[in-house]
Amino acid sequence: MTIAIAQILDQLKRVKGPELTGNIVDLGLVSEIVAQGDQISFSISVPPQLVGQLEPLRAAAERAALATPGVARAQVTLTTDQAVADPAPQPVRSAPTASQADALPPPMQKRTAPAAPVPGAKAPVPGIDAIIAVASGKGGVGKSTTSVNIALALQASGLRVGILDADIYGPSMPRLLGLSGRTQSGDDRMLIPHEAYGLKVMSMGSIVDEETATAWRGPMVMQALTQMLRQVAWGELDVLIVDMPPGTGDAQLTLSQNVPLAGAVIVSTPQDLALIDARKGLKMFRKVDVPILGIVENMSYFLCPDCGGQQAVFGHGGARSEAERIGVLFLGEVPLVMAIRETSDGGKPIVVADPDGEQARIYQNIAQGMWTRLSEERMLAGGRG
């Protein structure tokens, strides 16, 4: 049965606006409705200052949408700024100044500056002391593997740690941490994170299926991530690691602007190409004033399981020399080891699968270096050290 969008809109007209006047459709608050099979998703734009109080509105819209014939599931989110990440139509953006344009990496030059952050988006998340992004300039360099092992190493050192899988189109955490089942919400409607090896975990992969997420447009992605950050019963955390989507495009920039990041770590392979992309990542975080805590070189060399010999499969040492050149801390080299891939794919990352082994020690040193750097940054910024 094909879902008629007009019928959904008719149902949604029964839902009053945030100020209890008019209805959400006529007020122009409903985004494009994306339908896939019997599932639909859309967002409702609401004033940022009211977002915490409008769960009843969201729930009413969800109920109304589900009353439409043929709709079996409805994913409804509240957005606070329609313009932030909507790729079409393009948001009105101010042009960069000449010096800003010069400072941008080549593919972004001559393009417009990103939209302003959502008001309040940089406010701290209650209970979370520090949020750290792990990013990469391109996909497949081992960002998620590095994120989860760093998180587990921090946790093993006694910190309370969470991990947020912000890679909405290719979430890795369910596989890396052996998670299954959907995230539930509690009585207070806060999402209850999964727990794995002592980590609190939120992943888009535990909320919607990949097909639904792939159909989402910019504002819905941003809103889903905001929800995954702010409407979660994290409890008290010393640190939340955010596994960023790969790349340095507008989506990543918007995310970096809208999450109160204490710092960022860049993962790169030694290949020239990956390094060039990593440089873009560095520039992106600098542009939004997020301190770079360091660079990790992943798949640095191949460690032969039989002879113990090392081979520089992708060249070697590129990230270290690049870090030195640009004055960023080099956090460490992770070799290309079968055991890292096998443990990751097996749902038990190497830091917990072999906590006393050589690879775990490498991740522990990286985590420690990153944590020390964060304390230094905070002291420099006059915050808590």
Ligand X SMILES: Nc1ncnc2c1ncn2[C@@H]1O[C@H](COP(=O)(O)OP(=O)(O)OP(=O)(O)O)[C@@H](O)[C@H]1O
Give CA separation, 18 vs 24, 50, 77, 85, 117, in Å.
Answer: 8, 8, 14, 22, 22
Q: Which residues pair with 311 in a beta bridge?
A: 302
Q: Residue 232: beta bridge partners?
A: 191
138 labeled part of a ligand binding site: yes
Of 30 and 228, CB closest to ligand X? 228
- Closest CB to ligand X among residues 213, 340: 340
DSSP 114: P
Helix (H) and strand (E) counts in the chain: 13, 14
Integer Cα distance of 295 and 255 in angstroms: 20
Nearer to ligand X by Cβ, of 121 and 241: the residue is 241
Exposed/middle/buried for residue 60 (C-beta within 10 Å: 0-12, 13-18, 19+): middle
Closest separation between CB of residue 246 and ligand X, Å? 4
Nearest to 183 by CA among 165, 201, 169: 201
DSSP state letters, 167-198: -TTS--HHHHTT--SPPEE-TTSPEEPEEETT
65: nearest Cα among 84, 100, 41:
41
Comparing CB distances to ligand X, the nearer of 141 and 207 is 141
CB of 172 to ligand X, least distance (A): 5
**Least CB distance to ligand X at residue 306 (A):** 16
Q: 3-class DSSP state for residue 123?
A: coil
| Cβ count near 243 (within 10 Å) | 27
Closest CB 188 distance from ligand X, rounded Å? 32
List residues binding ligand X (CB under 6 A): 136, 139-145, 167, 170, 172, 246, 298-299, 334, 336-337, 340-341, 344-345
Q: Is 294 annotated as a binding residue?
A: no
In this structure, the number of other CB atoms found within 10 A of the CB of residue 266 comes to 34
CB of 149 to ligand X, least distance (A): 9
What is the rounded CA–CA span in Å between residue 173 and residue 147? Answer: 10
Is 137 annotated to bind ligand? yes
Mark residue 262 as left, alpha or beta (left: phi above 0; alpha: psi -120 to 50; beta: remaining). Answer: alpha
Closest to ligand X by CB, 39 or 268: 268
Q: Which is nearer to ligand X, 326 or 338 (CB)?
A: 338
When the beta carbons of 57 and 168 are compared against ligand X, the nearer one is 168
Q: How far is the CB of 255 from ligand X (least distance, A)?
A: 14
**Shortest Cβ distance from residue 111 to ligand X (Å)?**
23
141 has binding-site annotation:
yes
* Cα angle value 320/162/286 (rounded, 5°): 40
Annotated binding site: 137-144
Annotated binding site for ATP: 137-144
